[in-house]
């Protein structure tokens, strides 16, 4: 264990109603690469979950924070996070296992997401509604205004443990809500640190206790109580489609934002810059070990350039370094847990057995799976029709553009898609015909900025993240009309 690694160990607590609290049961947080204990967190009891929700409900009623004060809260938290960026990156790599260079990038994005959320707090504008637009009505003064929902709950996965939590708590607070957060059980420590900053900033602006709460522990315990609580008005969840459907089927009248799975295609056409496309595809498929919802999962390549493109993929895959995530040169480290590593191994072996050719990679050492390029993949093979969540790059040859579009849509998912081409008409076709929440021309499906609308179709979810869009979802519209009084 390196000296740097030892400095991030943390005995964490939960934030409930303005107090940092423990629980009778605790759970260790394990570094995926070497299995060492990073720290530990409490396992919340049902009583603590209910206490956090009740505190948030009370705070939502009591808060008088102005838009500017909500901006200050989020901006001050962002400044604290920025001051401790390296410590946060080290902590993230320790608990999640992503390369330290990627962890630093996520921290930087989280800082920007908090600041963008703060700015959006000042932009909750309404609009004038002209009553005389309908026949028979006069120019009665009326306007629509935005109001917070009340209590928003955010549930996040392991793969982007900091920025995805910020994408939930930032817009929720910006809209004037109280918040209850629940991070993934195997990557909770960066959320604890984030909420320390939010708690301090909330105190500085005079927010009531309970405006921000953080619960750690079992998703089944915490999630079911959140679902059953009448006080929770909205849930924002990022995770598996299976759990997302469970939430959708049991959430009643709650507002839901569901960012779920993907089997995202990237099309590479014969007129593309093949080397540039190959570099981006490898990056998009292998970033965070492929553990990204909008990762490149399927590469659809025009058959006339398949061999040339595969050669370029191999060259770029070979340049990636696999190893210790704290090594500054590492590009790929360990997958998050044994089950995920076993799933990637199974999909790889079944795809090869079905006839795919291994052009590069295929070796694994426990949770470490090297970048792997597979050619001759057909749509029915596991690497093409399952969400892998690992660094596999299956290449599927296609003969015409209509077939490429059809194959891109040949999935129950619809998160993001990419297309490399120099033909504007072909790009327009893809934009109109690919059934996904985002279509990215001359880049991969994995493209995302933190202020853009982000969210999928079909089994990839419902609703949109992206600060402006999340703030809208975490608020409601009220129509206010001023009609003539009796003495007018």
Tell me the pLDDT tens digit for each residue of 10-31.
789 999 999 999 999 999 999 9
Residues of the chain by 3-state class (helix, strand, coil), percent to 5: 40, 25, 35
Task: Evaluate if residue 2 carries a pLDDT over 80.
Answer: no
pLDDT at residue 227, as a whole number:
97
By annotation, the residues acting in catalysis are 259, 293
Three-state SS at 277? helix
Whose CA is closest to 239, among 328, 358, 166, 159? 159
Residue linked to tokens 């959708």? 248
- Contacts of residue 334, Cβ cutoff 8 Å, sequence gap at least 6: 32, 33, 97, 289, 325, 341, 366, 367, 368
- Residue 411 banded pLDDT, cuts 50, 70, 90: very high
Average pLDDT over every residue of 454-470:
96
Q: Dump strand ranges (E) for 227-371.
A: 232-238, 255-259, 265-268, 298-302, 357-360, 364-365, 368-369
Decide if pLDDT at 1 tops 50.
Answer: no
What mean pLDDT do residues 253-260 have?
Answer: 97
Using alpha carbons only, give the angle 118, 120, 122 rounded to the nearest 5 degrees: 85
Residue 84 has pLDDT above 90, yes or no: yes
Q: What span, in angstroms and rounded, lies between the C-alpha atoms of 485 and 488? A: 5
pTM here is 0.95
* Rounded CA separation 136/147 (Å): 30
Sheet of strand 212-214: strand arrangement:
19-21, 14-16, 212-214, 178-182, 151-155, 232-238, 255-259, 461-462
User: Backbone phi, then psi, for 265, in 5-degree steps?
Assistant: -95, 150
Average confidence (pLDDT) over 201-213 = 98
Length of the chain counted residue by residue = 488
Residues of the chain with CATH 3.40.605.10: 3-260+462-477
Phi, psi of 101, deg, nearest 5: -65, -40
What's the mean pLDDT in 50-66? 98
Name the fold adopted by 265-449.
Aldehyde Dehydrogenase; Chain A, domain 2 (3.40.309)
Q: Where do we find the tokens 């809208």?
A: 472
In 158-230, where does DSSP find H-type helix? 163-174, 189-204, 219-228
Q: What is the pLDDT of residue 488?
A: 54
Distance of CA 257 to the CA centre of its chain: 11
User: Strands 298-302 and 457-458, how do they pair?
Assistant: unpaired
Task: For Cα atoms 350, 352, 356, give the angle at the middle one, nearest 5 degrees.
Answer: 130
What average pLDDT does the structure give for the chain?
A: 96
For residue 127, what pLDDT band results from cuts at 50, 70 and 90? very high
Residue 173 gets which letter from DSSP? H
Q: Hey, which residues does 443 pair with through a beta bridge?
A: 419
Which pLDDT score, from 0 to 100, does residue 487 have? 73
Where do the CATH 3.40.309.10 domains begin and end in the chain? Answer: 265-449
Task: Find out if CATH 2.40.160.40 is the number for domain 3-260+462-477.
Answer: no
Q: Which of 218, 192, 220, 228 is nearest to 84 (CA)?
A: 192
Report how far residue 241's alpha carbon sits from residue 260's, in angstroms, rounded to the nearest whole number: 5
Q: How confident is the model at residue 486 (pLDDT cuts 50, 70, 90)?
A: confident
Reduced to 3 states (helix: H, G, I; strand: E, B; else coil), residue 94 is helix
């Amino acid at each position: 264990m390196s000296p740097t690694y030892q400095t991030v160990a943390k005995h964490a607590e939960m934030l409930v109603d303005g107090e940092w609290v423990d629980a009778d049961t605790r759970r260790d947080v394990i570094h995926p690469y070497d299995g060492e204990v990073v720290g530990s967190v409490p396992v919340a009891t049902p009583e603590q979950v209910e206490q956090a929700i009740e505190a948030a409900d009370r705070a939502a009623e009591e808060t008088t924070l102005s838009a500017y004060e909500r901006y200050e809260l989020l901006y001050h938290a962002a400044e604290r996070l920025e001051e401790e960026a390296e410590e946060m990156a080290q902590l993230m790599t320790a608990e999640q296992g992503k390369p330290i260079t990627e962890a630093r990038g996520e921290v930087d994005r989280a800082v920007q997401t908090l600041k963008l959320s703060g700015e959006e707090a000042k932009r909750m504008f309404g609009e004038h509604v002209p009553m005389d637009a309908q026949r028979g009505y006069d120019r009665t003064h009326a306007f629509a205004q935005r109001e917070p929902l009340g209590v928003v709950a955010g549930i996040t996965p392991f793969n982007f443990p900091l920025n995805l939590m910020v994408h939930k708590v930032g817009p929720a607070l910006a809209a004037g809500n109280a918040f209850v957060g629940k991070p993934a059980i195997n990557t909770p420590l960066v959320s604890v640190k984030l909420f320390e900053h939010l708690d301090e900033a909330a105190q500085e602006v005079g927010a009531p206790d309970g405006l921000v709460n953080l619960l750690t522990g079992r998703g089944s315990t915490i999630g079911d109580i959140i679902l059953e609580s009448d006080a929770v008005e909205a849930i924002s969840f990022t995770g598996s489609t299976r759990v997302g459907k469970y939430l959708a089927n049991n959430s009643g009248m709650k507002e839901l934002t569901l960012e779920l799975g993907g089997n995202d295609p990237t099309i590479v056409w014969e007129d593309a810059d093949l080397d540039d496309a190959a570099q981006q595809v490898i990056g998009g498929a292998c970033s965070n070990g492929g553990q990204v919802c909008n990762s490149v999962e399927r590469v659809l390549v025009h058959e006339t350039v398949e061999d040339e493109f595969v050669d370029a993929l191999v060259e770029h895959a070979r340049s990636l370094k696999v190893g210790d995530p704290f090594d500054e040169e590492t590009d790929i480290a360990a997958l998050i847990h044994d089950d995920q590593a076993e799933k990637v191994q199974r999909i790889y072996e079944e795809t090869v057995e079905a006839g795919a050719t291994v052009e590069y990679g295929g070796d694994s050492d426990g949770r470490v799976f090297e970048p792997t390029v597979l050619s001759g993949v057909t749509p029915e093979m596991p690497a093409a029709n399952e969400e892998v969540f690992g660094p596999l790059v299956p290449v599927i040859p296609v003969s015409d553009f209509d077939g490429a579009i059809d194959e891109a849509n040949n999935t129950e998912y619809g998160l993001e898609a990419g297309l490399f081409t120099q033909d504007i008409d072909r790009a327009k076709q893809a934009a109109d015909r690919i059934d996904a929440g985002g279509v990215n021309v001359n880049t991969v499906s994995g493209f995302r900025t933190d202020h853009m609308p982000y969210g999928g179709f079909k089994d990839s979810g419902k609703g949109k993240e992206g600060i402006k869009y999340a703030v809208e979802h975490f608020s409601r519209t009220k129509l206010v009309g001023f009609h003539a009084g009796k003495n007018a």
